[in-house]
Amino acid sequence: MGDKKKKGIEKESLPPVDLFHTLTARANILSKTGQDANADLKLAYNIESSRVNEGKDKFIPNLLATGQAVSLSIQEFGTNIIIKFLINPNSKEIEMSCPSFNVELFEIPRPEKIVLPLIIDVQSFFNQSQLPNFTRCGENFSQDDLKRKWKILLSFHPIESVAISFYKIADKPSLGVQSFATLMLVIGTPDVKQVVAKFLWKSDSSMEFVMTILANRGIQHTGITYDEGREAVKLLQKFCPSDKKSYFEKMAADRFGPSFSSEGQKISQSEIASLVKFKRRYFSSEHEVNAEYEVYTAPNKQVAMAFLENYSIQKKYFYVEIETPEGPIGKDICGIY
């Protein structure tokens, strides 16, 4: 090897078994390759997100520095599935449980426990001729099935370095990986969000599918607020390839407002204020929910969208509706509809 420059973790420096490394072994490998071991056990999730619940009074972003175990859960979009993790930095495994797991996503009989590696070199892991099982429920899977399911599991791995490594090497994603990649755009740390945004563009993901989730336009509400979805779309716009700019801006403007479009005439706030007229306010108690409505009128859809884009809604069951010649447009805490 001589003077060959080291790039990251060299394959020959890894244990030649199933790549489930102990914390000590991993720290030794990192120190030999000049990487920061303390950065390796940072959680991948932003604890401020409403979809992440941390099991202790104080959030511990870096497990290695504290040496403490963390119990946390995340909620998957649209299905109200709670995925629970028990992460102990003194162990080599993460225990993951979700009694009502999405059977269609994993095609397994709702295992009570899934075992993930605490730290893993993702590229070397997938280069193995025989991938290990991830559940102890006795199910056997083909290697093709295991590869597909491992990709889904690593796409929302709770350790930041593992999640980032996965998205850097992942190829064209399945629907399950796209779902969790979109989730990570909302709940991930800043570094995770950036690498996920790049991945979604380079991997030929269905951007219509991603935007439907972020804008709450699917059959089921995802629970993402308009502001959360808007921030995710801004990040996607930042990394959007130039040949897809027009296509993406049109989707974003249609779902989040005209400020995402670089084409067309811009409408000033003073113009919007003069063109949109308040009509009435009323309350409704349908479905045992006390909802409040504000109704406005606007000369066209473009003006209505510009008005709604800047109308901040921070509470549930509050709706703003605008009547236009093209039809009604509304907005609630989840977004424009």
* pLDDT tens sequence for the chain (337 residues): 444 433 333 333 333 333 333 334 444 444 444 444 445 688 898 877 777 876 554 556 677 666 677 787 777 665 556 788 888 877 778 888 775 555 445 444 455 578 888 888 899 999 888 888 887 666 677 888 888 889 988 999 999 999 999 999 998 788 888 888 999 999 999 999 999 999 999 877 788 889 988 988 766 667 788 889 999 999 999 999 999 999 999 999 988 988 898 776 678 888 888 999 999 999 988 777 889 999 999 999 989 988 998 888 888 889 999 999 999 999 988 888 8
278 shares a domain with 138: no
The answer to the question of residue 190 being in a domain is: no
Do 81 and 197 contact (CB within 8 A), yes or no? no
Q: Last residue of a domain, which of 119, 139, 170?
A: 170
Predicted pLDDT at 190 = 95
**Cα gap 172→194, rounded to integer Å:** 18
- Asked, for residue 245, whether it belongs to a domain, the answer is no
Q: Which residue has the tokens 């009570």?
A: 112
Cα 205 to Cα 200: distance, rounded to the nearest angstrom = 5
Q: Is residue 155 part of a domain?
A: yes
Whether 160 and 275 map to the same domain: the answer is no
**Local structure of residue 69 (DSSP, 8 states):** -
The reply to whether 32 falls in a domain is yes
Domain presence at residue 233 = no
Which of 98, 70, 94 is CA-nearest to residue 84?
98
Question: Among the three residues 170, 203, 229, which one is the final residue of a domain in this structure?
Answer: 170
Q: Where are the alpha helices (DSSP H) in 85-174?
A: 103-106, 122-126, 143-154, 160-169
Are residues 29 and 159 both part of a single domain?
yes
Q: How many domains does the chain have?
A: 2
Angle at 219 between CA 287 and CA 205, to 5 degrees: 155
- Closest by Cα among 118, 94, 114 to 22: 118
Pairing of strands 318-323, 291-297: parallel
Among residues 123, 138, 170, the one where a domain terminates is 170
Indicate whether 165 and 273 sit together in one domain.
no
**Does residue 50 belong to any structural domain of this protein?**
yes
185 is a domain residue: no
How many angstroms separate the CA atoms of 72 and 49, rounded? 12
**Residue 331 falls inside a structural domain:** yes
pTM of the complete model: 0.76
Which pLDDT belongs to residue 33? Answer: 41
Domain housing 75: 11-170
Dihedral, CA of residue 16, residue 18, residue 19 and residue 21, to nearest 10: -100
154 shares its domain with 293? no
Tokens 């059959």 correspond to 219
